[in-house]
């Protein structure tokens, strides 16, 4: 019997890059402010959870540059960073807002970028 372990960061990057796995995937998040806005940390955590669920890999490290405004058409670029330093861009697009509920699609880039030297 063969027992092999795949490096988690590299396998997540490879799995996500192989076919833009989250095209059309929608995430629903409820926020509790009068003006719908989702913190950068909450967006990053939601994106990481969706990536992990889609790839069957552990939750990756994702960072987002700022809060996500609850306005249809708002786009944000987040970054998935593997343990080897390679990065993969992830686009978050707000598709609908209903009260304090934000729905957004997540799409990973097709290719990762090499680690900085």
**Mean pLDDT rounded to a whole number for the chain:** 78
Chain centroid to CA 72: how far?
18
What order of strands is seen across the sheet that includes strand 75-81?
25-30, 101-108, 87-98, 75-81, 61-63
Q: What pLDDT does 16 receive?
A: 55
Tell me the pTM: 0.74
| Residue from 19, 38, 20 nearest 28 by CA | 38
Q: What pLDDT does 56 receive?
A: 86
Q: Which residue has the higher pLDDT, 116 or 72?
A: 72
pLDDT digits (tens, 9 = 90+) for 65-104: 999 999 999 999 999 998 888 999 999 999 998 888 889 9
| Residue from 43, 63, 59 nearest 51 by CA | 59
């Amino acid at each position: 019997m063969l027992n092999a372990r795949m490096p988690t960061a590299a396998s997540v990057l490879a799995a996500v890059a192989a076919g833009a796995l989250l095209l059309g995937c929608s995430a629903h998040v409820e926020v509790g402010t009068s003006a719908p806005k989702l913190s950068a940390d909450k967006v990053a955590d939601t994106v990481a959870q969706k990536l992990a669920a889609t790839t069957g890999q552990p939750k990756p490290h994702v960072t987002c540059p700022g809060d996500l405004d609850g306005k249809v058409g708002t786009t944000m670029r987040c970054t998935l960073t593997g343990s080897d330093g390679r990065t993969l861009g992830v686009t978050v697009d707000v598709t609908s807002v209903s009260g304090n509920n934000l729905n957004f699609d997540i799409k990973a880039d097709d290719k990762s970028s090499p680690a900085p030297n």
